[in-house]
Structure 1
Amino acid sequence: MTGELVLLTGGTGHLGYRTLVEALSKGYRVRAAVRSEAKAAGIKSAKSTQPYLNQLTFVTVPNIETDGAFDDAVKDVDYIVHLASPLANPTDDDEKNIIQPAIRGTLSILYSALKHPSVKKVVITSSVAAVLPVEPKPFDADSVQPDPQGPYPDTFTAYSASKKFALNRTRDFIAKEKPQFSIINVMPTFVVGKNELSTTPEAVNDGSNRLALVPILGVNNPDSVPSFVCHVDDVAFVHVAALDPKVKGNHNFGVNYLSEKPYQWNDGIDIVKKHFPKEVEQGIFPLGGSQTSLIVPFDASKTEEVLGFKFKNYEQQIVSLAGHYAAVAAKA
């Protein structure tokens, strides 16, 4: 509701910043938890933040894993949107740098919220990885997976494990503490689309966006990657729409565009040819690359039904991403 206060973490990330702007645009006041003043300055200076500066404040939380890290940040807030979590970046210690931070960061903010009766709902950014079955089969956001067992053969497996652990510990928290607030987990697939905070071609070509840009930028990746993907705007919308008191808590919302005819990562080539012929001619999009696709049936239709909207299709996703890449590349 208009004017209510949201504590938001992870606001400098691709999804986090878009969610922050979505919350501000819907009339919420936002208290953004950042690791440093420099991070706050980056958010304040971004173009989309400018109309809402009077609704935005900051609190510094240097280490989200520490017990009680959010105790002061949570004071007097109505809602929490917790997006901050380790990404699937290579590390020499997956347990220390990916898995434990995901678990401790989630539990830290939940236990801080438990101390403040003003909190009505907590929305947590989980992932499709949290409910992804070991054996390929159709599944949805309510699938329950057991705690994984290490060691983990690669970074993405460790990242998937971190999401499963964090979700399972959240379930344990609800059962044990019976909090006064409800909890919603948002489970997006690969998130693509414009990242306003990315101002160089290298920065745009990062994270999940890299997967969609592989064939468009003439790169060949023979490794199979699940072709489940969603638009960053849709994921941000779901986080904020879930705050509505009419939306019941303690359940999950998947975010995934699923077409009748399964799409492939390489479909981006024809989309770019159609919408950006000039940029293709200029060599901004060399095309000719290939990203092998693995079809994984993740049904997120419940989210569309409950929240009353439709996910953006793959063409819309690629147009958003490629348009931003072209604009940034033209200034480079």
Structure 2
Amino acid sequence: MAGELILITGGTGLIGIKTIHTALKAGYSVRAAVRSQAKANAALATPTVKAINPGDKLTFVIVPDILADNAYDEVVKGVNYIIHIASPVIKGEGFSPDQYESELIAPAIKGTTSILSAAYKTPGIKRIVITSSEVAIIPWEEFIAKEVDTVFDDTYEIPFPAGPYTNPFEAYAASKVRALVATKEFLKEKKPEWDVINIMPSFVVGDNEMITDPKLISDGTVSAAFAQVLGGDSGWGAVPSTSIHPADIARLHVEALDPKIEGNQSFLAVSEGERGTRWEEAIEIVNRNFPEAVKKGILPNNGPAKTKRTKVDSSRTEKVFGFKFQSYEEQVKSVVKQYLGLLGEPVA
């Protein structure tokens, strides 16, 4: 309910900053857990936060190490809801095989169980919304390698992935499965007074106000769409045909706090229906919407991209929440507009 206090972890990432914006606009007060004061200052400097001018409705608490014992015990006190977004992500060169467990899997599990344990010890919490992932319920081989006719929805469950893992992304996927399993086990054992909703996004493509350097515009999964626009190769090979705008994920997280939505369930967040995203279509989208930037060479728009078909049905999410996810075209356009803005170029 508007006016109540939400703790948001991971609030300075691509999904997190949009979730802070969305929660404030909905009338909630937000306590954002960040790793440093510099991160808090960067969030306060984003145009949307400045435009909202939240005053004391947005506060920050520093949690430098989410793996520390009892890391969240103090910061959850007094909150009505928790939106837990913080989790390790793959960046740059990723991790070596001997780091998969320590850098990807253990932090994902420990971060989730830590927030659940802190909430369990704190009265007054009504609901926890956790950022999971589509890879928590889609088998790795069928998601990334095999093209199958299975249409995956949010009732799907997969076995515990014990490893060994062949690459960092497979280890990341395993971390999401194991964090989801840990959440279900916690609920079964502890039977807390609050419930949990898991939001399961696909590849996230959209503008990110935390990025102020145009050289970083293709950070994370945005590169699956935007590397080709800049004339490069994302290096990911054929990418599964699933994407979502961060604004839609943020909206799901905040609207999932509504008690009208039944708790202890999961919701997939994938746009474009079963047809899915066709990554290479970014070229045509940019040519049509930003012809002058392409003509001037600001957007080379000639890089390669390839789609691996993966059928995912998140229509139940759209039905329950009552809105349709933004298209791949809108996702690409939002990144291009931000990029051109950072360059000081006209958005046309």
The amino acid of 2:127's aligned partner reads K
TM-score (norm 2): 0.92
The aligned residue for residue 63 of structure 2 is: 61
The amino acid of 1:60's aligned partner reads I
The aligned residue for residue 74 of structure 1 is: 76
Counterpart Cα distance in 2 of 1:290 and 1:175:
47
Asked if 1:265 corresponds to 2:279, the answer is: yes
Structure 2 alignment gaps of length 5 or more: 143-147
Between stretches 278-287 and 77-86, larger displacement belongs to 278-287
The aligned residue for residue 6 of structure 1 is: 6
Counterpart Cα distance in 1 of 2:277 and 2:72:
42
Equivalent residues in 2 for 1:168-183, closer than 5 Å: 168-183=181-196
The aligned residue for residue 311 of structure 1 is: 325
The aligned residue for residue 184 of structure 1 is: 197
Between stretches 254-263 and 85-94, larger displacement belongs to 254-263
The aligned residue for residue 44 of structure 1 is: 44
Aligned pairs, number: 331
Counterpart Cα distance in 1 of 2:230 and 2:122:
49
The amino acid of 2:135's aligned partner reads A
Deviations 1:212-248 (A, max 9, x none): 0122122245711102001111000000000011111
Asked if 1:156 corresponds to 2:169, the answer is: yes
**Cα 1:161–1:277 shift into 2, 3 Å:** same
1:298 Cα deviation after fit: 1.0
1:283 Cα deviation after fit: 1.0
1:259 Cα deviation after fit: 4.0
Counterpart Cα distance in 1 of 2:100 and 2:12:
23
Pairwise CA RMSD: 1.4
Higher strand residue share: 1
The aligned residue for residue 145 of structure 2 is: none
Counterpart Cα distance in 2 of 1:254 and 1:111:
25
The aligned residue for residue 214 of structure 1 is: 227
Structure 1 alignment gaps of length 5 or more: none
Kept in 2: contact 1:222–1:290 (CA 8 A): no
Identity %: 44
1:260 Cα deviation after fit: 6.3
The amino acid of 2:38's aligned partner reads A
**Cα 1:295–1:60 shift into 2, 3 Å:** same
**Cα 1:138–1:30 shift into 2, 3 Å:** same
The amino acid of 1:73's aligned partner reads V
Counterpart Cα distance in 2 of 1:281 and 1:45:
33
Deviations 1:116-172 (A, max 9, x none): 121000000001111112444211122111111222111100100000000011010
1:261 Cα deviation after fit: 4.6
Counterpart Cα distance in 2 of 1:190 and 1:87:
12
Kept in 2: contact 1:193–1:232 (CA 8 A): yes
Q: What SS is found at the alignment partner of 1:107?
A: helix
Counterpart Cα distance in 1 of 2:167 and 2:290:
36
